[in-house]
């Protein structure tokens, strides 16, 4: 082994903030998601409650995770925005199966969602794009996300060009940028408990569109 060695075996934490019991939760996982989201958002110690890890199955056969921001959720599912030609966009175009997860450390909670991603309607992406600050709009335009670029200077020069070109003009949403809706097929809620006896409740979507709820061993 080289010089770097850091044994983390002694890192250990006991969880005891909350519990998840069948009698206290909704038949619909989106309602439980909303309850948890509100509770975490109202609590101290989470910077971006809506930051989630999105995992796709890459064209190279590897899964890949990255963080994106949840911008909306409804009974239908979870919406985030990105560049459709990015590595994740290309992956989704071949295989829409994705996994998203949240780890809200301050409340000792994890949510894991498996689902299928689909592009949202163009007018919805337009609406969200329109609401973004100008700098973010130009950023979406300038960045050919996930492509290799020669340098930081190249990116900044491209941005300056666009700033000139669009001075005083309206910036429209480029076709390559927009939202995805992840329609969930399973949603698992994990609540840390003492002695590693954590609570895990999984909801799975059935063929008749009702949600089946099961408790999993921690």
**Which active-site residues does the annotation give?**
196
Choose between 74 and 93: whose C-beta lies nearer to ligand FMN.
93
| Least gap, CB of 24 to ligand FMN (angstroms) | 31
DSSP type of residue 151: -
Choose between 64 and 161: whose C-beta lies nearer to ligand FMN.
64
Instruction: Classify residue 53 as exposed, middle or buried by CB count within 10 Å of its CB (0-12, 13-18, 19+).
Output: middle
Q: Which x/- pattern, by CB under 6 A, does the window 111-150 give for ligand FMN?
A: ----------------------------------xx----
- What string of DSSP letters covers 77-133? -EEEEEETTSHHHHHHHH--EEEEEEEEGGGTEEEEEEEEEEEPPHHHHHHHHHHS-
Choose between 32 and 100: whose C-beta lies nearer to ligand FMN.
100
Asked if 173 is part of the footprint of ligand FMN (rule: CB under 6 A), the reply reads no
Retrieve residue 108's tokens: 């000792």
- For residue 137, the surrounding DSSP H or E stretch is helix 134-142
> Of 75-83, 122-130, 180-188, 203-211, which part binds ligand FMN (CB under 6 A)?
75-83
- Residue from 84, 88, 138, 182 touching ligand FMN (CB under 6 A): that is 88
Tokens 């996982």 map to which residue? 29
| Cα–Cα distance for residue pair 113/94, rounded to 1 Å | 19
- For residue 33, the surrounding DSSP H or E stretch is helix 29-42
| Least gap, CB of 153 to ligand FMN (angstroms) | 20
| Least gap, CB of 62 to ligand FMN (angstroms) | 11
Asked if 69 is part of the footprint of ligand FMN (rule: CB under 6 A), the reply reads yes
Residues that bind ligand FMN (CB under 6 A): 48, 51, 64, 66-69, 80-83, 86-88, 145-146
């Amino acid at each position: 082994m080289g010089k770097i060695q850091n044994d983390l075996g002694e890192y250990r934490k006991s969880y005891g903030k909350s519990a998840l019991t069948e009698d206290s939760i909704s038949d619909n996982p989106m309602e439980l998601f909303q309850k948890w989201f509100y509770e975490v958002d109202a609590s101290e110690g989470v910077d971006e409650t809506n930051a989630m890890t999105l995992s796709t199955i890459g064209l190279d056969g590897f899964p890949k995770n990255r963080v994106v921001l949840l911008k909306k959720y409804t009974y239908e599912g979870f919406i985030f925005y990105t560049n459709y030609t990015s590595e994740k966009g290309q992956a989704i175009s071949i295989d829409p199966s994705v996994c998203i997860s949240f780890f809200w450390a301050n409340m000792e909670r994890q949510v894991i969602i498996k689902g299928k991603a689909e592009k949202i309607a163009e007018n919805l992406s337009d609406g969200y794009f329109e609401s973004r600050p100008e700098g973010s709009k130009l950023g979406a335009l300038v960045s050919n996300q996930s492509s290799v670029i020669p340098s930081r200077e190249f990116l900044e020069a491209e941005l300056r060009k666009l700033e000139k070109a669009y001075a005083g003009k309206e910036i429209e949403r480029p076709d390559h940028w927009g939202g995805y809706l992840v329609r969930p097929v399973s949603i698992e809620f994990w609540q840390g408990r003492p002695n590693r006896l954590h609570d895990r409740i999984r909801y799975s979507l059935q063929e008749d569109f009702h949600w089946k709820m099961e408790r999993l061993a921690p």
